[in-house]
Amino acid sequence: MTEETIQPKKGNKGVLFIALLLVIILVQSLKIYLDYQEKVEVKEQLATTEEDLAGTMQKLTDIQTELDQKIAEIKKLGGDSEELQKAKAEVELELRRRTKRSAKAIQELKDKVEGYEELLKLKDNEIEKLKHVNTQLFSENRNLKTKQNKLSDSLVSLAKNKDELASKVAIASQLKAENIIIKAVNSKGKERTSPFRNRQLKSLKIGFNLAENKVAPIEGNKIIIRIIDENGQVIFDVAKGSGNFILNGKEEFYTAAQEILFDNTKQKLSYLYEKGSAYVPGKYTIEIYSNDYKIGAGQFEVK
């Protein structure tokens, strides 16, 4: 083999080595570049995540402020703020959390924020309805005051004085007993209207219905009956359900009572009171009370 043949082979090996070295350098450079790009993307992703979290937390802070405002406004209008109070507690809990959050956790938090924002929009509608109701109530009471005091200029002071307005609302919401019927029931269950005799009076039956009142709230009420003789004495027996209540700042006796739910349906009430002894002949007065005010009265006579 000649020297000329050997030299080209050595030259080929050198070229291959250089080419291989270049490939290695290129691969390493590409890896370094890709690693750098990955770090940049991760850093950008973290920055975006932190920015999302900061923005979401700021929204939560804004929502907390708005919740406080809505709660105060609804309470002032007499509405129910329980749902907003619950949302406020959840927001405050999220704001107190100091731990870092994953992208998934931040997205869940953003979904919650959207829910709170939707709740605030719904409460805006509710507040408008409450304002409308309060405006109507104010208008109704202005009309009531006008009818009761045609020669008085107290309508102006009513609009300016909250305490006076509240008092008028209370008056307007008072219940009224109507169609009062008083009958004697004998031992056979036969009923008679006044006047009646003791032998016909095994039990005294008192019936009436509660008049419609759009201002009165739907709520529980204690309806009290007082049977009063000609001397002003109340027929009273604890064993038969009698008791006492406060009337005009004084403790007074009552004969019988019922706990009811006033539902504004002209509901009918009936009392059957058995005295257990004879009534003294004379005229008797029936007084009907709701809480601490009289809502109706009637009379009967025993001969």
Per residue, the 3-state secondary structure of 229-263, as one string, reads: CCCCCECCCHHHCCEEEEECCEEEEECEEEEEEEC
Domain boundaries, the chain: 3-130, 175-302
| The pLDDT value given to residue 270 | 93
> What phi and psi values does residue 54 have, to the nearest 5 degrees?
-60, -45
| The pLDDT value given to residue 82 | 84
- Collapsing DSSP states into helix, strand and coil, what is residue 209? strand
Q: Which of 116, 123, 122, 121 is nearest to 74 (CA)?
A: 123
Say whether pTM exceeds 0.75.
no
| The pLDDT value given to residue 1 | 44
Q: State the residue for tokens 């009907």.
A: 288
177: left (phi over 0), alpha (psi -120 to 50) or beta: beta
| The pLDDT value given to residue 208 | 95
**Cα 226 from Cα 236, distance rounded (Å):** 9
- Collapsing DSSP states into helix, strand and coil, what is residue 265? coil
- Collapsing DSSP states into helix, strand and coil, what is residue 86? helix
* Residue 289 exposed, middle or buried by CB count within 10 Å (0-12, 13-18, 19+): buried
The residues with which 207 forms a beta bridge, in sequence order, are: 181, 270
**Cα 86 from Cα 81, distance rounded (Å):** 9
Q: How many CB atoms lie within 10 A of CB 291?
A: 14
pLDDT tens, position by position, 192-209:
999 999 988 999 999 999
CATH of domain 175-302: 2.60.40.10
In this structure, which amino acid lies at residue 219?
E
**Cα 138 from Cα 65, distance rounded (Å):** 30
**Cα 250 from Cα 201, distance rounded (Å):** 32
Is the Cα torsion angle 123, 127, 133, 137 positive or negative in sign?
positive
**Cα 96 from Cα 212, distance rounded (Å):** 51
| The pLDDT value given to residue 39 | 67
Compute the half-sphere exposure of residue 134: CA atoms within 13 Å on the CB side of its CA. 17
Q: What one-character DSSP code corresponds to residue 81?
A: -
Please list the ranges in the chain whose pLDDT falls under 70: 1-11, 33, 35-50, 52-53, 98-103, 149-172
**Cα 121 from Cα 127, distance rounded (Å):** 10
Q: State the residue for tokens 């209540």.
A: 245
Summary count for the chain: helices (H), strands (E)? 5, 10
| The pLDDT value given to residue 2 | 47
Strands 219-228 and 191-193: unpaired
Task: Identify whether the C-beta of residue 225 lies closer than 8 Å to the C-beta of residue 206.
Answer: yes
